[in-house]
Amino acid sequence: MLTASCQRFAVRCSVLLAFVVATSGTLPAQTASDLARLVHPDVADQLGLDDAQRAKIQSLLQQRLELVGQATPEKPADLSAIDKQIQESLTADQWKAFQAAPPEQKLRFQFREQSWADVLQWFARQDNLTLVMDRAPSGTFTYSDNRSYTPTEAIDLLNSVLLTKNFTLLRRDRMLTVIELTTDIPIELIPRIKLEDLPSRGRFELVSVLFPLGKRPIDAVVTEVQPYLSNYGRAVPLAQSRQLLVIETAGKMQTINLLIASVPEPVPPPQPPRPEPQPAPVFAAYPLGNLDPLSTLATIKKLIPSEQITVDDKTRVLSAFLVPAQQTAIQTAITQMQKDSTESPGLESMSYKVENVDAVALEKQIVAVAPTALVSFDAVNKKVIVTAPALDQAKIAKLLEAVGSPVASQDMMVKSYQLLSTQSATVTLALKAMLPNSQVLSNDASGIIIIRGSDADLQLADEVVTTYKTKPAESTPQLKVYPLDQIVPATWLAQVTKAFPDASLWLDAEQKQLLALATATEQTRLES
């Protein structure tokens, strides 16, 4: 069943259809003017229209009205396609029954100085309405033409005149009420419709519409709408539901809707970005292999300062309770450290005889051709020892040959040793003092010591490293240097060595310092 708004929509359609038929000739005048009656509940029930048919016909009639509104006397609307769709929406029997039904009653205005009370009573009788009128407008009504009007059109025509006298007609169901606009009109008497139902209402028909305001400031909306309202129009803000109830003629409601939409909604303040959820920490353990546990822990904590990183010196395992990204960083660092500790550095050490050269100037020349080279000078033996990649050594050799400094020892060999990082510094100092003619390089972080020297020097280095590595942890030897007041002979060193058989003792090249690799107890005895 369709609502009362559909009835009014149907009546409105019939008036416009009558005009179009007279200009376009698409259907017989009687049939075209009655097409809007298809959405009238009584007519739809008599024809047996289902809900789908009623909805489709109402949509087509709305399109027909829009075409009619766009038509001009010079270019009448072509409604043949829509008329055909409306007819095809019905079955053959329904269309035949509709054509046989009596046409809707039309009204003609032929009034000359007739009192308003008589005019309104006449209209109520014609449309079979009950007239409620406490007071009739003053004066008379004069109007006549040859046009036929539907009841809805007739009410709109009468309202257009009555509004000038501060009166209006309200039609609710089968009751027609005459309202004087000089007094407050009870809101409940005014028909409330939806915005989409406005096309089915007359332009001068008084209605009420509830407009949603969203987040727009209510005061700003009322200020925008109020100047457009007539003397009898009202705008009632409903703060709780954020709506505006507007009482005005239907012809103004669409403009009021645009005025409300023109009031901007406040821009909400930007929301602070929601923090990304932090991943939960996980536990992981990393075997260190040959890496020194304590030095590795120190290196890792420089990368990731955290108390959740520990190391077990006995099992040589580093443990961490951190988020996955930090665990990945630890794994990468340990892998690289282990790789650095096992791979050969790819360097060669060569010694060159040098005489009467400026050491500082020579070093600058060598670094100029080999930026990564490590340069050291042996003043006693008059040699420069250069550690650099093999390709750079060829450049360095050509440079030194140009200044008269050939390679000193082509038969020297290279050997590397792996110790704990806590041991490499002590052993390196001992080897440098014991092997003045060899090149000793070390990486304290990885515990690797590289020696380039003669076969005899490498054999001595083997003995020192083996002795140092086999010492118990509690008797780990320490290297100390003791300055001597005078140059001592070799026989003096032999006598001291007999007194300290478990220590390794030797003199520096100038025999002015005693170097001792011994336990803390022996070092104390030696000092006394």
- pLDDT digit string, tens, across residues 325-356: 888 889 888 888 877 665 544 566 676 777 77
Backbone conformation region of residue 472, classed left if phi is above 0, alpha if psi is from -120 to 50, else beta: beta
Taking Cα atoms as reference points, which of 103, 93, 101 lies closest to residue 29? 103
Confidence of residue 16 (pLDDT cuts 50, 70, 90): very low
Q: What is the pLDDT of residue 259?
A: 92
SS3 247: strand
Spatial contact of 147 and 108, defined as CB atoms under 8 Å apart? yes
Among the ranges given (21-30, 98-107, 265-274, 425-434), the one the predictor scored with the smallest mean pLDDT: 21-30
Spatial contact of 439 and 391, defined as CB atoms under 8 Å apart? no
Confidence of residue 31 (pLDDT cuts 50, 70, 90): very low
Q: Is the pLDDT of residue 319 over 70?
A: yes
Q: Is the pLDDT of residue 166 over 80?
A: yes
Q: Is the pLDDT of residue 26 over 50?
A: no
Confidence of residue 246 (pLDDT cuts 50, 70, 90): very high
Among the ranges given (114-128, 170-184, 217-231), the one the predictor scored with the smallest mean pLDDT: 170-184
Query: Residues 477-509: pLDDT tens digits?
Result: 677 778 888 887 777 887 888 888 877 777 766
Q: Is 372 exposed, middle or buried (0-12, 13-18, 19+ CB in 10 A)?
A: exposed
Backbone conformation region of residue 14, classed left if phi is above 0, alpha if psi is from -120 to 50, else beta: alpha
CA–CA dist 342, 277 (Å, integer): 40
Spatial contact of 413 and 450, defined as CB atoms under 8 Å apart? no
Average pLDDT, the chain: 78
Rg of the chain over CA atoms, in angstroms? Answer: 55
Spatial contact of 39 and 62, defined as CB atoms under 8 Å apart? no
CA–CA dist 430, 1 (Å, integer): 109
Q: Is 72 exposed, middle or buried (0-12, 13-18, 19+ CB in 10 A)?
A: exposed
Q: What percent of the chain has pLDDT over 90?
A: 8
Q: Is the pLDDT of residue 270 over 90?
A: no
Spatial contact of 202 and 159, defined as CB atoms under 8 Å apart? yes
Q: What is the pLDDT of residue 22?
A: 32
Q: Is the pLDDT of residue 32 over 70?
A: no
Paired sense of beta strands 167-172 and 140-144, if any: unpaired
Q: What is the pLDDT of residue 471?
A: 61
Residue scoring higher pLDDT (453 or 19) = 453
State the average pLDDT over residues 462-476: 68
Q: What is the pLDDT of residue 38?
A: 77
Q: What is the pLDDT of residue 343?
A: 52
Q: What is the pLDDT of residue 209?
A: 93
Q: Is the pLDDT of residue 446 over 80?
A: no
**Backbone dihedral angles phi then psi of residue 379, each to the nearest 5 degrees:** -65, -35
Helix%, strand%, coil% for the chain, nearest 5: 45, 20, 30
Query: Residues 513-524: pLDDT tens digits?
Result: 787 777 778 888
Q: Is the pLDDT of residue 5 over 50?
A: no
Q: What is the pLDDT of residue 500?
A: 83
Taking Cα atoms as reference points, which of 445, 512, 523 lies closest to residue 478? 523
In this structure, which amino acid lies at residue 491?
T
State the average pLDDT over residues 234-249: 91
The H-or-E segment that residue 281 falls in is none
> Distance from CA of residue 289 to its chain's centroid?
44
State the average pLDDT over residues 451-475: 74
Q: What is the pLDDT of residue 28?
A: 43
Q: What percent of the chain has pLDDT over 70?
A: 83
Paired sense of beta strands 383-389 and 478-483, if any: unpaired
Strand partners, 249: 206
